[in-house]
Structure 1
Amino acid sequence: MSDTTMNPAVPEPAQAPADLPPVPAPQLPAPAGARTGFAVRATASVAVAALLGVGIGLGVLKAEDDGPAVSAAPAAPSASPTASAGPSFGAKQNGSHFGSMKDLLLPVPAGYHLGPDSGQFGNDTELTEEQRKAWVEDEVRGLPVKLQDGVRKAWQESALKGGGVRSLVSDDSSLQATVWLLQYHQTAVKAHDAWVAALGSDSGLYRVGPQIPGHPEAHCFLPHAAPGAEIDELECSAAVGDLRVVLGVQGIAPLPKDRIVPLLAQQLDRLAVPGASA
């Protein structure tokens, strides 16, 4: 994977005939639905194993004590009796996150603007309860019918408590990124992420993507691309307490690692659990 900045224009042949039109720049495809992980894009058997793996033993898990709310950076002392007593979003010491998903999501960084909708969920959304149910159905849809009830039950038992999505496009239109935050039981988050990491690194279905300095919990993979393909894609997954973070990227090949890595690193830094060691 190249570290060079991508050029959104495809160069014309050195001596193109004068009567031929110029070669157009490749267009980034629109997001294909709301899929949020390689675990649900791979072969049906592997996808089912990953999703059912999340549900193993969830029926006997007990609710965790949320503990006191503590942000990664302590709040400044109150300037007046009416000032807020604490941060509006952040992480507690036990790994549970609080606050709006739109606040927990990485704000639109410099050099980017909001991108296209991620399926039916929009481009800058905190999912409602109904949308979370729809998200589960999207994950189940397409699997063999005889397995759908088991996968659906696994997601129901993992109690998707929150979800958010933000879509970004670089100002030069060469890179499109979609960030998903999915909040459910910490044990299930960790198990699901482990399945995705194993699928990406051990199955041979994907190319290994870049590492994220300071965040060994993050795993990035790329599907195998046809030789000479103009568009490439990458997906990263990470478990941070009770949040699973999924970053999907599409762009003109070769994807620029030096632009993608900071996006995920900044998102993970925003969600950091107080006292956690990298």
Structure 2
Amino acid sequence: MIVGAVLALATLAGIACTAAVVHGADRSPGAPNWRLPVATKEKPAQEKQSGLRALLLPFGEERYVRGPDVEQFGSDTELTGRQTSDLLRQSLRSLPRSQRLQLERQYEKNPVKGMAVRSYASTPLAGEDSGAFTVEMVLTRGDRKTLRSRNRSQQEFLDTMKVFRKGPAIKGHEDHAACFLPPAVEGEKLESMTCSGYVGDIGVTAWIEGTASFDRKGAAEMMRAQFDRIQEPGEAV
């Protein structure tokens, strides 16, 4: 929740992050709860995926299995630019009119052209204390220059706050991607980490959640694999 709040602050500061809309959509308050979904073997895809979904890491039988649904989006979906725009505008309705209009103008200048959402669990057979984690991965397609500027501004914003802990490095992508964690809370049994960055015209944002002992290095390795997949020749760069 702390990470989500900071992303919201960053957005209000002018660092638009459409992916944050997905993570914060229709979240219901209540007691913290975290569990892995029931393990199921993924069947090979019958049809070749295209668009942003094709750039997401595929589900596997041993790692990165299908995770819990991301609210109304399910565990694997893609939205068009218009659907993303409608979703963003809906999310801004609760803001004061001046802030809402300012963000809408920023979005209209550099609209997101599409968005893909996929949810993962790090392993199908893991107990709560095994280091397992779940991931909400969101890819957005937009203007390259804008993505670069927003990513730089977001990192500067977080560095200025001096509250967040730096997460593990995403090897090979340190110059355009980073992970960070919320402030440590003594006795907290749940932990989260947010990673974000871009490759070409593709923005990447991920929310990783698990127990306090979850495998951060394993999560960073998953992020490296995601960035590498986008960076393959002929894909997004």
> TM-score normalised by the shorter chain: which range applies?
0.7 to 0.9
Amino acid at match of 2:101: D
The gaps in structure 1 that reach 5 residues or longer are: 1-31, 55-87, 90-98
The gaps in structure 2 that reach 5 residues or longer are: 19-47
Q: Greater CA deviation, 144-153 or 214-223?
A: 144-153
The alpha-carbon distance between structure 1 residues 225 and 136, as it changes in their structure 2 partners (threshold 3 A), is: same
1:267 aligns with 226
Aligned-pair distance for 1:123?
A: 1.3
8 Å contact kept, 1:127–1:164: yes
Aligned-pair distance for 1:212?
A: 1.0
Of 30, 50, 67, 1:115 maps to 67
8 Å contact kept, 2:85–2:111: no
**For the residues of structure 2 that align with 1:273 and 1:188, how far apart are their CA atoms?**
22
Is 2:8 the partner of 1:41?
no
8 Å contact kept, 2:80–2:113: no
Structure with greater helix share of residues? 2
**For the residues of structure 1 that align with 2:133 and 2:82, how far apart are their CA atoms?**
31
Alignment of 1:15-34 (within 5 A): none
**1:161-209, Cα deviation, whole Å (9 max, x unpaired):** 1110100113226311011001111111111111221222221231111
**For the residues of structure 2 that align with 1:53 and 1:181, how far apart are their CA atoms?**
11
The alpha-carbon distance between structure 1 residues 192 and 273, as it changes in their structure 2 partners (threshold 3 A), is: farther
8 Å contact kept, 2:180–2:193: yes
8 Å contact kept, 2:81–2:115: no
1:194 aligns with 152
Q: Give TM-score scaled by structure 1 length.
A: 0.63
Amino acid at match of 1:128: T
Amino acid at match of 1:41: A
Of 217, 223, 230, 2:182 maps to 223
**For the residues of structure 2 that align with 1:126 and 1:186, how far apart are their CA atoms?**
20
Secondary structure at the counterpart of residue 228 of structure 1: coil
8 Å contact kept, 1:101–1:164: yes
**For the residues of structure 2 that align with 1:219 and 1:105, how far apart are their CA atoms?**
18
8 Å contact kept, 1:179–1:247: yes
Bigger radius of gyration: 1
Amino acid at match of 1:184: G
**For the residues of structure 1 that align with 2:153 and 2:212, how far apart are their CA atoms?**
28
Amino acid at match of 2:155: A
Of 165, 168, 171, 1:207 maps to 165
Amino acid at match of 2:188: A
The alpha-carbon distance between structure 1 residues 184 and 139, as it changes in their structure 2 partners (threshold 3 A), is: farther
**For the residues of structure 2 that align with 1:182 and 1:224, how far apart are their CA atoms?**
27
Amino acid at match of 1:147: Q
**For the residues of structure 2 that align with 1:222 and 1:128, how far apart are their CA atoms?**
30
Amino acid at match of 1:182: T
Is 2:52 the partner of 1:101?
yes
**1:95-150, Cα deviation, whole Å (9 max, x unpaired):** xxxx4111111112432321122232221011134431233235535543321111
Total equivalences in the alignment? 197
**For the residues of structure 2 that align with 1:232 and 1:211, how far apart are their CA atoms?**
18
The CA RMSD over aligned residues, in Å, is 2.8
1:179 aligns with 137
The structure, 1 or 2, with the larger RCO (C-alpha pairs under 8 Å, 6+ apart) is 1
1:159 aligns with 111
